[in-house]
Structure 1
Amino acid sequence: MKKDSGFSFIEIMISLVIFSATVSIIIPAIVKVQEERQSIREERLAEEIIQLVMYRTYVEKVPFLKEVHVKHGVTYSINVSETPNLDGLCISWEGENRREYERCLYKQKK
């Protein structure tokens, strides 16, 4: 008598094909999620920097000079943005994903 134990070669090959297809879809998605998480970290850091500069400029009355900050390998540059009714500061940077970003923070003119 012959005992049937284990899986056949065809069953193993089908399992490997399904596993390979699943992995080939999941890996690029994981990489994209990691890139987006990094860009969110960069944006939060930019917001912290611009809030600090805004506080120093408008509350502590420290004169604003064009500033450049380098944090975690990313260069953030801060510029003055003026409109008739608003004063503001804008921060711009190029993320690790090679996209350009800019965020502005405004205050009402007196």
Structure 2
Amino acid sequence: MKKNNGFTLIEVMVAASILLTFISLLIPAVSLLKTEKQILSDRRMVTFELHDQLQPFIWQTTRLKRDKYSIKVNTLPVEITISTEKEYLKGCAYWKNAKQRQEKICLYGLLQ
């Protein structure tokens, strides 16, 4: 009877190829998740900032026709436009996300 104390070369090569295949599939997925996390984080921060920018216009008594300016949110250049539409105040933010695609978020407020 033969004594087997280890793995054969073919078993090691199959295990290594499975491991390398798994790693080669995992690296792009992790990179994509990191990019999407950054996009969602930027979107959340821009929405919070747009909300804060709209508050003074909602609570003031004088009405504006249109306002447009640029700000930075976490080093991200964002263009904000604020306008009135009937009894609503409309604020929109425009920026380029981590994938260099144009994004837009609009918030509406009821004027007092």
Shorter-chain TM-score bucket reads 0.7 to 0.9
Asked if the contact 2:59/2:111 (under 8 Å) is kept, the reply is: no
The alignment's TM-score, normalised by the length of structure 1, stands at 0.84
Partner of 2:72: 70
Q: Percent identity?
A: 23
> What do the CA deviations read for 1:9-55 (whole angstroms, capped 9, x no partner)?
10000001111111111111111111110000001111111111111
* RMSD, aligned α-carbons: 2.4
The alignment's TM-score, normalised by the length of structure 2, stands at 0.83
Stretches of structure 1 that go unaligned for 5 or more consecutive residues are none
Q: Please give the residue correspondences for 1:1-110 in structure 2 after superposition, counting only pairs within 5 Å.
A: 3-60=3-60, 65-108=67-110
Asked if the contact 2:90/2:108 (under 8 Å) is kept, the reply is: yes
Change in CA separation of 1:28 and 1:61 when aligned onto 2, cut-off 3 Å = farther
Query: Counterparts of 2:93 and 2:104 in 1: how far apart (Å)?
Result: 6
Stretches of structure 2 that go unaligned for 5 or more consecutive residues are none
